[in-house]
Structure 1
Amino acid sequence: MSASEFLRNEHQDILRLEKVITKSYKALYAGADIPFSDIDKINFLIAEFLDSVHFTREEGSYFPCVASYDHLNKEIRELLIEHEFSRNIARSISKNLKLWKEGQDKREPVARFLSVYSTFLIEHMKREEAFFEKAENEILSKEEEQEMFEQFQSISAIAEKVTSLLKDIDYLESQNWAK
């Protein structure tokens, strides 16, 4: 497996999370009650799975390797800006959820930011898929792809963390509001 394939496979799990996010904001807009703990778990998955694991792999290894060839720099910059946008949305969800837990009526802002995040994820994944395709076919050697893939797998703590995070997605998918 190549690093590009590995990241694409992670996208499949991220799209599972996106579907949960979509169901959550639609349920909130419909007036359904979603436990704060489930919304916390969604926000945790955004921060941990997307930011701490997936984006870190891209920002720490994949993008620098591609950039070392002085190619696709504009695309890398755009993806990095989108990663920061993702972090900003997650902070907004967290801030409004905290206020909602404290008694303020923040259902609509939480639903709105979840909706924005869902839309962001769909578009961002499309751009990354196109980027991976170009990088894999035009820039990176098979050896570089293999080295990065091995690096991604070498940190067992991250592999264990991903397994735990995927169980969290399983849990959220099984909730009544998500069906």
Structure 2
Amino acid sequence: MKAVDELRNEHQGIERMLRILQSIAGKLAKDEQIVSGQLDGIMEFLSVFIDECHHGKEEEILFPALEAAGVPCEGGPIGDLLGEHEQGRKLVARLKKSVESYTSGDMASAADVQVIINEYVGLMIQHIEKENKGLFLMAESKLDIAKDHEIIEAFDTLERERIGLGKHDEFHALLDKLYVEYLQ
């Protein structure tokens, strides 16, 4: 199913960012400085790529299609995943405040940044696994080819309208740059 494959591919980029975040937390633990411009790019990735684009595709398109196909929201996997999306938003909001304090010179906030990164990474790792090994398999069994095409078109429209043409590629370029900086 192409729609689910697209979301799985996005998960790979998100997992790459999670590894970068873990590296940053490790550097902060050793009192190493992190370039504020890099942190700004990371925060944009978390709020725009992960939340507005990726979670938008799930919440506004895939989840409603699954509900229409009989997958319950309340008390089911969709409700759990929506709760985790909200939990992630709250962590990103806290992280943004701590990053702003850190980049404005409050070195004591580095500890807060580390703690929030670790919470966020833990949440997202188990969340991605639930989707990849649970919900997406359900989608592949419940949705037909016609619905898959409809979802893919809606994904393209959401991405174009929500983040704009070329922004997805910019985020992947950022991932490549940060990968070299923090993981090689």
**Does the TM-score normalized on the shorter chain lie above 0.5?**
yes
29-38 vs 96-105, greater mean Cα deviation: 96-105
* In 2, Cα distance between equivalents of 1:128 and 1:82: 11
Q: Check if 1:165 corresponds to 2:168.
A: no
Q: Check if 1:150 corresponds to 2:153.
A: yes
**One-letter amino acid of the counterpart of residue 136, structure 1:** E
Distance 1:159 1:76, change over 3 A: farther
Alignment length (residue pairs): 177
Cα offsets for 1:143-176 (capped at 9, x unmatched): 111211122234546452111111111121122x
Gaps of 5+ in 1: none
How much is the aligned-residue C-alpha RMSD, in angstroms? 1.6
Alignment of 1:120-135 (within 5 A): 120-129=123-132, 130-135=134-139
In the alignment, what sits opposite 1:43?
A: 43
* In 2, Cα distance between equivalents of 1:18 and 1:109: 17
Do the aligned residues in 2 keep the contact of 1:153 with 1:159 (CA within 8 Å)? no
Identity within the alignment, %: 25
* In 2, Cα distance between equivalents of 1:28 and 1:178: 15
Q: Secondary structure at the match of 1:174?
A: helix
Shift of 1:119: 1.2
Do the aligned residues in 2 keep the contact of 1:47 with 1:90 (CA within 8 Å)? yes
* Runs of 4+, deviation exceeding 3 Å: 154-159
Do the aligned residues in 2 keep the contact of 1:28 with 1:107 (CA within 8 Å)? yes
Gaps of 5+ in 2: none
In the alignment, what sits opposite 1:21?
A: 21
In the alignment, what sits opposite 1:112?
A: 115
* Superposition TM-score, scaled by structure 1 size: 0.91
* Superposition TM-score, scaled by structure 2 size: 0.89
**One-letter amino acid of the counterpart of residue 174, structure 1:** V
* In 2, Cα distance between equivalents of 1:178 and 1:163: 20
